[in-house]
Amino acid sequence: MATHQQTQPPSDFPALADENSQIPEATKPANEVQQATIAQDPPTSVFKNSEPIREDQIQNAIKFLSHPRVRGSPVIHRRSFLERKGLTKEEIDEAFRRVPDPPPSSQTTVTTSQDGQQAVSTVQPQAMQPVVAAPAPLIVTPQAAFLSRFRWYHAILAVGVLAASGAGTAVFIKRSLIPRFKSWVQRIMLEEETDPLKKADAKPSLAEEAVAAAKAASAAASDVARVSQEMMITKNGERKYFEDLTHLLGVQVQEMKSLSNNIRKLEGQSNNIPKIYSADQEVYNGSVTTARKPYTNGSNVDYDTRSARSASPPAAPADSSAPPHPKSYMDIMSMIQRGEKPSNIREINDMPPNPNQPLSDPRIAPKSKPWDYGQAPQDESSNGQWWQQKNPRSTDFGYETTTAARFTANQNETSTMEPAAFQRQRSWVPPQPPPVAMAEAAEAIRRPKPQAKIDQEAAASDGQSGVSDELQKITKFSESGGDGSGGIKIAEIQEETEQQHISQEGN
Amino acid sequence: MPVFKAPFNGYSVKFSPFYESRLAVATAQNFGILGNGRIHVLELAPGAPGVTESVAYDTADAVYDVCWSESHDSVLIAAIGDGSVKIYDTALPPPSNPIRSFQEHAREVQSLDYNPTRRDSFLTSSWDDTVKLWAMDRPASVRTFKEHVYCVYQAVWNPKHGDVFASASGDCTVRIWDVREPGSTMIIPGHEYEILSCDWNKYDDCILATSSVDKTVKIWDVRSYRVPLAVLNGHGYAVRKVKFSPHRRSLIASCSYDMTVCLWDYMVEDALVGRYDHHTEFAVGIDMSVLVEGLMASTGWDELVYVWQQGMDPRAS
């Protein structure tokens, strides 16, 4: 059954786009007629979400959006993450509504999202290589950068304070404890000298005292040792952290340098490339994001750094091996990286010589698609030209020219001879269309079709009486077609007419 | 089976919806990294060599996709790596071509699809994360659909609903759109990795196939899109293109970086029903003829275009 075709001229598009209606069954008379007859466009389109909003998903989304790290990321990345987790648009909007106002850094995303998105979002999971973790902090918004700077400053301060306190404690211990110890020992010695008699009695007590004192001293010493050790460890930890940060920073700086080098190289050689590139130069140069695509593609680091055309065809997930690229592909990639241009590129002017050149008139009317009739044809194949194995005609083109002659000469004979054969041979010809139950309705629906669509619909709706009209149209076609290519249409129409003949004669 | 050797690496092949023996091929120099491009219009002929070039158009930048108009039998449209969309009319002499060049996309235009029901408009999808809607008679795009956050690798019209289309993107989602709506109407997070291609079932307007870098092809029903209807495993590397047969309800063709073209029937337990390994480099373009049942064509980075009948060996002579 013929479906809705060409009921609206292109000028309807802006009108439709401007309409802010959420209802797909926007009230257009043509559509309503279509819906009534076709019943393929139910009032709620199947292409919209009809699921209710899931509260648990929204709760998860709110938790995600409230996370401090997420707060610092661009809004578009947050949306993308939630979409990839399976949330619908409504759920995402609701979650955004419920989370308190995002930090001011998110406003930058409105502009950044325009000129090629930022690098990998900080919240994107497994698809990234470890290398990405390095550039991510750098490309983070200014506020986050400010925060991290703050932390380094803090770290330095903390390290300094700890070192100072450790040193001070050590000095203090040296100064205070040791004299105390010394004086204590001296006292004991003195007591020993001045009171040898007491020694006998005092000895056990002295010994006990000495033991106790020694114990206390050792305990104190061990405490001191422990404390100083802990301080050293924390100092080392801080220092390690600090070193890690500086190392990462160094890596980022290096990558930035290499990227800018490549950009400069290509800027240099871009003078040789035709003007058409010039519009894109700003985009290529201006965006740091040329690196992002290869990273998330999981492809080799080798062709990550090219910025002429950053994304090679997406290669493979990060965890499996990339498909083996042809050797010459790698050669060209390395050439580009080195800044050389392949020598086989020509300057070509491919702009239209006459931008207002009208399109030439179509010689053939558009053909209906095999699926327009709702059934998959299951025709048997028979041998013929290799690519027309299902069509037993000897050649395609020969048939076209002879058909026209045959048709005008003795249409009836040809037609009645092999209608069934036609049906079998032409695999893309649909099975018999259903009999027209209400001819008036069918005509009314199909009436506003433009000239180009008169073929099958006209054949079906006209029925027996319209055969003469058919003939006139067909002869018009053959006149305008001129060469044999019009013949296909002629045969089609003839076929349709024949089927109608058969179906109606048989009744 | 005819083979055509192009000077550049093949990127896409499309049969004409008007002429059974005509097809167009999009090619790019230096694997599409940097260089010129060329569009070939080929004619299948009886006898050797089987396929001849009837006309070729050179472009300054790589041609990533080509598609035939459904309203004019001689018109074809090309997606160019410099972001332009060019229209060619094969009925005019070659020096008059191209007849239009639209420069709107900010980055490479990756794919084209002509509306098969309305026949008056077409979509382009680009690495600038947008999909644009164009009409043949307008000097500028009618609409821009900007929601994806990464390259949109393909946008395909629904074969039954002339206002609905699907887009597959590197942000791992497929979006369903309706041109009457302001934004996308459905978001399907189909794969964990980039989704390179999608196509609608021609006989069941709610069924969609997607192919991804994760080497699988998944079949979805948009009415219950949380779980795929089927997951087709069998390719060894990323699946670059997927296409539903215009003649059989559940038959799918796919081509992959593992250099093979596979045929699947997703309704069947053992879904892989055919495998062709004729290419010697990445197979990146595939098409099934609407006019001749069983006729298929494929192209790849090995600069070859094969046209063959299902069930036969593409390399047979």
pLDDT per residue as tens digits for the range A382-432: 434 455 544 333 333 333 334 334 434 444 444 444 444 434 444 455 555
In a domain, A89, yes or no: yes
CATH for A88: 1.10.10.10
Residue type, position B310, single letter: Q
pTM above 0.80, yes or no: no
- Exposed / middle / buried, residue A476 (Cβ in 10 Å: 0-12, 13-18, 19+): exposed
Final residue of a domain: which of A244, A267, A290? A267
For every residue of A200-219, DSSP letters joined together read HHHHHHHHHHHHHHHHHHHH
How many H-runs (helices) and E-runs (strands) does chain B carry?
0, 28
Identify the band that residue A313 occupies on the pLDDT scale cut at 50, 70 and 90. Answer: very low
pLDDT at residue A7, rounded to an integer: 42
Contacts with A361 from chain B: Cβ below 8 Å: 72
Listed in sequence order, the residues at least 6 apart from B290 whose beta carbon sits closer than 8 Å to its beta carbon are A369, A370, A428, B15, B17, B246
Residues A246 and A166 in one domain: yes
Residues A78 and A181 in one domain: no
In a domain, A18, yes or no: no
Listed in sequence order, the residues at least 6 apart from A290 whose beta carbon sits closer than 8 Å to its beta carbon are A259, A284, A307, A310
In a domain, A318, yes or no: no
What is the Rg, in whole angstroms, of the alpha carbon atoms belonging to chain A? 42
Scored b (16 or more CB within 10 A) or e, A395-416 reads ebbebbeebbebbeeebeebbe
Contacts with B136 from chain A: Cβ below 8 Å: 10, 359
Contacts with B70 from chain A: Cβ below 8 Å: 366
- Strand runs labelled E in B46-173: 51-59, 63-68, 75-80, 84-89, 100-103, 109-114, 121-126, 130-135, 143-146, 152-157, 164-169
| pLDDT < 70 stretches in chain B | none
Question: Do the chains contact at B238 and A323, CB–CB below 8 Å?
Answer: yes
Residues A158 and A262 in one domain: yes
Q: CB neighbours (10 Å) of residue A289?
A: 18
Question: Do the chains contact at B180 and A19, CB–CB below 8 Å?
Answer: yes
pLDDT at residue B230, rounded to an integer: 95
Identify the band that residue A439 occupies on the pLDDT scale cut at 50, 70 and 90. Answer: low
pLDDT at residue A43, rounded to an integer: 58
- What is the tally of structural domains in chain A? 2
Residues A161 and A261 in one domain: yes
pLDDT at residue B176, rounded to an integer: 95
Q: Are A296 and A126 in contact (CB under 8 A)?
A: no
Residues A65 and A166 in one domain: no
Cα B130 to the center of its chain, rounded Å? 17
Residues A180 and A86 in one domain: no
Final residue of a domain: which of A237, A267, A297? A267
Give the tokens for residue A425: 């041979």
In a domain, A161, yes or no: yes
Q: Which of A48, A127, A362 sits opposite B193 (nearest CB)?
A: A127
Residues A159 and A66 in one domain: no
pLDDT at residue A440, rounded to an integer: 65
In a domain, A333, yes or no: no
Average pLDDT, chain A: 64
Q: Which of A3, A379, A381 sits opposite B160 (nearest CB)?
A: A3
Chains A, B: CB contacts under 8 A, how many? 313
Residues A248 and A182 in one domain: yes
Percentages of chain B per state (helix, strand, coil), in multiples of 5: 5, 50, 45
pLDDT at residue A496, rounded to an integer: 47
Strand duo B239-244 + B9-15: pairing: unpaired
pLDDT tens digits, residue range A66-115?
888 888 888 888 989 999 988 888 899 999 898 876 544 444 444 444 44
In a domain, A371, yes or no: no
| Helix locations, A195-326, DSSP H | 197-269, 278-286, 292-297
Phi, psi of B35 (to 5 degrees): 150, -170
Q: Are B202 and B210 in contact (CB under 8 A)?
A: no
Q: Which of A22, A332, A370 sits opposite B247 (nearest CB)?
A: A370
Question: Do the chains contact at A332 and B98, CB–CB below 8 Å?
Answer: no
Residues A163 and A76 in one domain: no
Place of tokens 């071509």: B97
Residue B132, beta-bridge partner list: B124, B144
pLDDT at residue A340, rounded to an integer: 84
For residue A338, how many C-alpha atoms fall within 13 Å in the half-sphere facing its CB? 9
- Å from B57 to nearest chain A CA? 9
Domain that holds residue A83: 55-98
pLDDT at residue A202, rounded to an integer: 58
Residues A160 and A94 in one domain: no
Place of tokens 């050669």: A331
pLDDT tens digits, residue range B251-290?
999 999 999 999 999 999 899 999 999 999 999 999 999 9
Question: Do the chains contact at A316 and B237, CB–CB below 8 Å?
Answer: yes
Average pLDDT, chain B: 94
In a domain, A231, yes or no: yes
Over 80: is that where the pLDDT of A501 sits? no
pLDDT tens digits, residue range B198-253?
999 999 999 999 999 999 999 999 999 999 999 999 999 999 999 999 999 999 99
- Å from A388 to nearest chain B CA? 7
Question: Do the chains contact at B33 and A346, CB–CB below 8 Å?
Answer: no
pLDDT at residue A437, rounded to an integer: 62
Place of tokens 């080195």: A338
In a domain, A83, yes or no: yes
Final residue of a domain: which of A250, A267, A284? A267
ipTM score of the complex? Answer: 0.85
Q: Which of A83, A347, A367 sits opposite B173 (nearest CB)?
A: A83
Residues A159 and A259 in one domain: yes
